[in-house]
Structure 1
């Protein structure tokens, strides 16, 4: 059983749109690929048919996984959140104490993460290490490259 994950309204809508696209266009394309492969002759020796069946199976698996994610998704109600702590959907300004570099991150659900856009997952090592911290706190986080220390400069929504 999956746990509930919280999303921004935009992030949840993006997941729903992707799911709808896979159900409509993805399934239609898979069916067309199967029809074309079936028309090429003997199914017992038709590698193209086998590949199309495998692709259809992977598509259905992806649809099933997205349905589960969307089914367990909730839009975060920010009205009752403690704005002094780092939580999901917090914008956090950090200072890397090793090199004094200042970073800005938005903590989001795993499916919304995009490092290039400054969005990190709350399930990532850095996201986990920041959760519950307050401005002025120092977070010591173990990442694959070693141990990092961040000072939390600012938390906003």
Structure 2
């Protein structure tokens, strides 16, 4: 069975989405299907088709979330070693060319949010940082060209 690493906050976010889908979205969609069905001829009923498409999306997402939550391995970043970049830790980087400092928490794909300084371990930068120690250089081929960062600290 595949274990899916996730932080506690990421797990809670997925759980909330699942509850919303089951208790709000699914019942609303069922009502929409019933209303569209009441309009008669289903062969040319765009509302019915849209509601059925939405139903398929909701059921697919519920299945996906149940799988991820069922296989989740919640990782507490507080207990992680700070000697190298691993899932859940926060890495402070310095752009070698500009001197600009940034920091990112390494999280799973479902949790990544650049605005919240959370990047996926499967992203190019996340992959480049994994396993590296403070002082190591991280090279990244970005759309604007090569970027070189130095790992300043791991929090």
How would you bin the TM-score normalised by the shorter chain?
A: over 0.9
Local SS of the residue matching 2:91: strand
- Which of 77-86 and 43-52 deviates more? 77-86
Local SS of the residue matching 1:83: coil
Q: Is 1:65 matched with 2:64?
A: yes
TM-score normalised over the length of structure 2 = 0.92
1:101-154 Cα shifts (integer Å, max 9, x gaps):
111111111111110111111111100000000001111122333321110000
TM-score normalised over the length of structure 1 = 0.91
Structure 1 spans left out of the alignment, 5+ residues: none
Distance 1:72 1:132 in 2: 24
When the two structures are aligned, how many residues end up with a matched partner? 155
Q: Is the 8 A contact 2:107 2:121 kept in 1?
A: yes
Distance 2:26 2:133 in 1: 47
Partner of 2:30: 31
Q: CA RMSD in A?
A: 1.6
1:21-69 Cα shifts (integer Å, max 9, x gaps):
1012111011000011011111122121111111111111111111121
